[in-house]
Structures are given as C-alpha cells and as structure tokens.
C-alpha cells in the first residue's frame, strides 16, 4: 500500500518547532502540525543531502514495505533512519525527488 503523507519544501526561513537532524545538517518541521501537510526543510551549509532535496520540493508516501517500493526505482538516497521508528529512502521520478517512508 502507498498512501500520501506530505510534501517537503526547501526553505531558508527559520521556523518555530524545527527538529535538527545533525548528521544531515538539516532542520525539519513536523508536517503533521501543518494544515496542508507541509514539511519545511532548512539545510545547513555543507549538508551531505543530495542537491535535488536541497533545491526541489518532494512528495512523500507511507509504504508498507520500503524494500518492495524501491524495486526497479532510480535511488536518490538509500534507506536510512532519520529518527527512531522511521525508515525512509528517496527515489527520482523524471528528475523529481519522491520519498518513501516505512514505520518500523
């Protein structure tokens, strides 16, 4: 099953309630707190995250099986755990980033 989760939008604006992901050099907001399911992404200089994520909005989906969702896809960012209980990966679809998320 694949279900829409949120849209992630890169921004340079500091927002209330940001969470810092130290290894990614990234600040993110909680999309669940947004009426329109927007996750704002603010990258620090030197972030190791792919350029496409730093400059292009992405759409995100919850999936039941992350490995299965990635089969045959162009992988942008291999599976990782940005926070406890959540595994994510990014693919490219016609050059646009798409996030797949699986609760663990």
Task: List the CATH number of the domain containing 60.
Answer: 3.10.180.10
Structural domain count of the chain: 1
Q: For residue 67, give its domain range.
A: 2-103
Identify whether the C-beta of residue 50 lies closer than 8 Å to the C-beta of residue 8: no
What's the chain's average pLDDT? Answer: 96
Radius of gyration of the chain (CA): 13
* pTM of structure: 0.93
In this prediction, residue 42 carries a pLDDT of 98
In this prediction, residue 83 carries a pLDDT of 80
* 41-63 core/surface letters (b: 16 or more CB in 10 A; e: else): bbbeeebebeebbeeeebebbbb
The pLDDT tens digits of the residues spanning 64-96 come to 999 999 999 999 999 999 889 999 999 999 999
Identify whether the C-beta of residue 2 lies closer than 8 Å to the C-beta of residue 65: no
76-80: list long-range contacts, CB under 8 Å, 24+ apart: 76/50, 76/52, 77/49, 77/50, 77/53
What is the arithmetic mean of pLDDT over 13-29?
95
CA–CA separation, 53 vs 6, rounded Å? Answer: 14
SS3 93: strand
């Amino acid at each position: 099953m694949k279900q829409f989760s949120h849209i992630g939008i890169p921004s340079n604006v500091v927002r209330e309630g940001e969470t810092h992901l130290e290894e990614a050099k990234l600040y993110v907001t909680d999309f669940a707190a947004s009426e329109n399911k927007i996750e704002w992404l603010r990258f620090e200089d030197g972030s190791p995250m792919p350029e496409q994520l730093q400059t292009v909005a992405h759409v995100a989906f919850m999936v039941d099986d992350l490995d299965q969702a990635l089969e045959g896809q162009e992988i942008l960012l291999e599976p990782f755990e940005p926070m406890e209980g959540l595994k994510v990966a990014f693919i490219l679809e016609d050059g646009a980033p798409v996030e797949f998320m699986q609760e663990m």
